[in-house]
Amino acid sequence: MSKPVNVADFRALAKNRLPKMVFDYLEGGAEDESGIRRNVNAFREVLFQPHRLVDVSVRDVTTTFFGKRQRLPLVIAPTGLNGIFWPDGDLALARAASRFGIPFALSTASTASIEQVARECDGELWFQLYVVHRKLASQLVRRAMDSGYTTLILTTDVGVNGKRERDMRNGFGFPLKYSLRTVFEGAIHPRWTADLLRHGIPQLANFADEQMQDTEIQAALMSRQMDASFSFDDLAWLRRLWPHKLLIKGLSRPADAERCIALGADGVILSNHGGRQLESAIAPLQTLQETASKLVAPVLLDSGVRRGSDVVKAVALGARAVLLGRATLYGLAAQGQEGVEAVLAILKDEIDRTLAQIGCASLSGLTSDYIWESGRKLPAREGNVVCLNGVNCVA
């Protein structure tokens, strides 16, 4: 392939480099995977209605949230097991984020520890929390606080693990299990295999610690299930535990977002886990405008972002920033930190081009006035007469 020019090109490179079972883990979703397609298609169905004769000779792609100026309206989303895509994958993502002046969110299921990322990477660090066990959760939160992480993300949409049928068919698990099939896949993907042999099989680094020797915590980890009892009533406990910015991720209902803010959250992330949990969930973009209209607090969004124009659409509909999952993982799996930075550069360029083409000189000037949504009812026409709602026809 010639030099990749978009996220889809990096996806093709990632698919070529990774064994099938590893690429399927990156790419796959719940059940028939219509949720993934819905996330992407939701952006395709939103169209721009550009303004013209506007001075766009200089564009500003910066944004502000939580009182900080940020160079792009992007965050690298928390994603697990990144070390199987590229050696020290979490560090590569965090360093790329720092280079572009955007936050990096570390997953509970990372293959680099909370402390290692803080020690070896500059830039703003966020930590994403899965509540597997309350005692374990409090330990992880304290470690993130002691390591200087600025923002905590509570993920709420994994009461049970989604049915990811690609992983089931491939026998994918962690740590990786060896079989004739995996050995064959490794043999026909020599670059990936050489990296794995050179750097060793990645581990869930946040759980490889003396603190994890508690028998209750070990039992919770062995079950590989989240604490499905965690509810709104428990949010106050987490709020007391974490004194910095707190975001609630995995929401799709405006009323749930309002309740989270009322209980002390500083913002929300609309998400359906990239289509990896509930196949038939609505796309986050579909509830963005309504949710943002009800909150003063920042609303962020993930799932389905593949283009800079997607980012512009999300900001126009009320998002303060978007989180990138698969898009930056394609870059990571293809070329490591260099690939992540290339994806971010592509998205930055596409954001800038889109602003110029719709007649908006800055992200801060975006509103829903720039959006025309396909499917919106147009006035019916009778000859040269426009009829509103089919009645009360006016010339």
Active-site annotation holder among 51, 199, 244, 273: 273
DSSP 8-state assignment for residue 154: E
Tokens for 226?
């989240």
Q: What is the largest CA-CA distance in the chain?
A: 78
CB of 367 within 8 A of CB of 317?
A: no
Active site residue 244: no
Q: How far is CA 381 from the centre of its chain?
A: 43
Distances (CA, A) of 187 to 4, 12, 191: 26, 19, 9
CB under 8 Å, gap of 24 or more: what pairs does 170-174 form?
Answer: 170/20, 170/21, 170/24, 170/25, 171/21, 172/21, 172/22, 172/24, 172/25, 174/81, 174/84, 174/204
Q: Checking DSSP bridges between strand 385-388 and strand 391-394, what pairing results, if any?
A: antiparallel
> For residues 193 and 198, what is the distance between their CA atoms, to the nearest angstrom?
8
Catalytic machinery residues: 273
